[in-house]
Amino acid sequence: MVVETVKENLSVNKLVTTKREVILVEGDMIVPDSKPDILNTICTSGVVCIYKKEILENKVRIDGNIDTYIMYIAEDSQDKIRGICTSLDFSESISVNNCKEGMNCKIQTELKSIEARVINGRKISIKAAIEVEIKVYEKDDVEIITDIQKTENIQMLKEDLKVNSLVGMGNTKIYAKDTININNTDNLAEILKTNLCICGRDVKISYNKILTKAEAEVKIMYLTEDNRINAVIAKIPIVGFIDIQNVTEENICDVDYEISNIVLKPNSVEEHSIYVEIEIGVTAVVYEEKGINLIQDLYSPIEKLEFNKKRITAITEKTTRQETKQIREKIVVEGMENRSIMDVDVIPKIEKEHKLNNKIVYEGEIELKMLLQNGELEVDTRTAKIPFDYEIEGIEEAENRNTNMRMEVLNHDFIVQDGGMITANIDLGMNMSSDKNINLNIIDQIQSNGEREEEDYSILMYIVRKDDTLWKIAKRFGSTVEDIARTNGIEDENVINPGQKLFIPHYTKVPMTNNV
């Protein structure tokens, strides 16, 4: 006979696997006829765009491109500094064990390096390395038995737990568009370099709807018709709505942004502006904190009960921390005499993560890629690195937590002093999200196979062993925790000691016989 139970739904967004790999992208570029021959490259930069991802059996396929910008010295031209841009396409299938169609995938990319080499005056070879981190998730809906409707003669061991249950997930495409004005005295000739990052992320939750807000910070370096180099910085709002049923303000939301495409189009010279359009994929995953009174074990002194057990892994204690790390350093860079800083790419990286007791320590470095100019309008580059460490305290059981650190550059300022000394002032936004895995033993399919035959009620004496609990002892002898505690005058049912003598009230059972 099936025992009637009370069940509750739990939706687990289970992390199946994580894979980190470096993709090498190579390609050649022919210089258009409208551009002068290339003598040498000055610097090369790029923005990674992912426009398609597909989860297959034991692999993930990624299609994208690198919007590449090359600043170079022109050969036999009065306009010595010129720029050229191209799109470097790639398609990669990455082996990822245990993933399959229907699962969900989160991808983070970082352009580790990119360089251009002159083959001849009209041809360039480009090589880039992209670090890809892939996290594959599987949604698992389970029913948890939290109570039994008729509890007579059934003993239950319960535990109050809090888990983060998946409410839902959704995505949308956002086209962030704007016309960026440049200096009215600048007649734009061509774009030399572009940097793009997503910053200022925020999320608002209302009933059945997620509002995502961020900004695309765009920095464009350009050449004017009178052979000057200038730059403009603008922030373009990224605002989108994602409909997800049953979300409320109390829920926790993870939001990820993925750049899919970039369009930069200088307007007419008279307009002194550049049209920018960025296609961005936004994904939201929403969790609720759910309290459950989980049945860990059960038995009956009277009935013969049978049930199945299965083990699932859920997440709990999902939290976020946002802080600002200030870095104030003086660095010496060779060859800075009579040079001014035109532009600096600030690239923060985490090298190591240490989880110690109740704190997490990060070790990292900030790479500075500097574009310099001397009094004769000659352009040069320098690279410097600033090590840093960052501690987050007050993290309970830090060593058992799953963590993800996302950094963004909030502000930066560089001052060149005498002797090549540079004062660097950098503010980093440190955004950490974390959670813990929790293993749940789920009881399922409880059946009663009739009553046991009984002999007389009796009491026996038992000496407590190491790792014993009153529950284990009661289940072993067909008694109850309440009867043992009452018989032995135990006030705290959770406290017994090895060697302690207990009197165990119980029924002596006789095996069932089959009637023929």
Same domain? 372 vs 505: no
Same domain? 249 vs 341: no
Structure tokens, 242: 């994602």
How far is Cα 310 from Cα 308, in angstroms, rounded to an integer? 7
Same domain? 345 vs 436: yes
Domain contains 292: yes
- Of the candidates 54, 51, 52, 124, the residue with the CA atom closest to the CA atom of residue 83: 124
What is the pTM for the complete model shown?
A: 0.86
Same domain? 155 vs 133: no
Domain contains 79: yes
Domain contains 462: yes
- The packing angle between helices 481-488 and 470-477, to 10°, is 110
How would you class 260 by CB atoms within 10 Å of its CB: exposed for 0-12, middle for 13-18, buried for 19 or more?
middle
Last residue of a domain, one of 394, 417, 445: 445
Q: What's the full length of the chain, in residues?
A: 516
Same domain? 473 vs 441: no
Same domain? 461 vs 438: no
Structural domains in the chain (count):
4
Same domain? 158 vs 111: no
CATH of the domain at 502: 3.10.350.10
pLDDT tens digit sequence for 472-491: 999 988 888 999 999 999 98
108: CB partners within 8 A, 6+ apart: 132, 133
Range of the domain at 123: 17-138
pLDDT by residue for the chain (516 residues), tens only, comes to 778 888 889 999 988 999 999 999 999 999 998 888 999 999 999 999 999 999 999 999 999 999 999 999 988 766 688 999 999 999 999 999 999 999 999 999 999 999 999 999 899 999 999 999 999 999 999 988 888 887 777 888 888 999 999 999 999 999 999 999 999 999 999 999 999 999 999 999 988 999 999 999 999 999 999 888 999 999 999 999 999 999 999 999 999 999 999 999 999 989 999 999 999 999 999 999 999 989 888 888 888 888 888 888 899 999 999 999 999 999 988 888 778 888 999 999 999 999 988 899 999 999 999 998 876 667 888 999 999 999 999 888 889 899 999 999 999 999 988 777 899 999 999 999 999 999 988 888 888 877 766 555 678 889 999 999 999 999 988 888 999 999 999 989 889 999 999 989 876 554 443 332
Torsion of CA 460, 466, 469, 472, to 10 degrees: -70
Domain contains 450: no
Same domain? 242 vs 328: no
Give the strand pairing for 123-148 and 501-510: unpaired
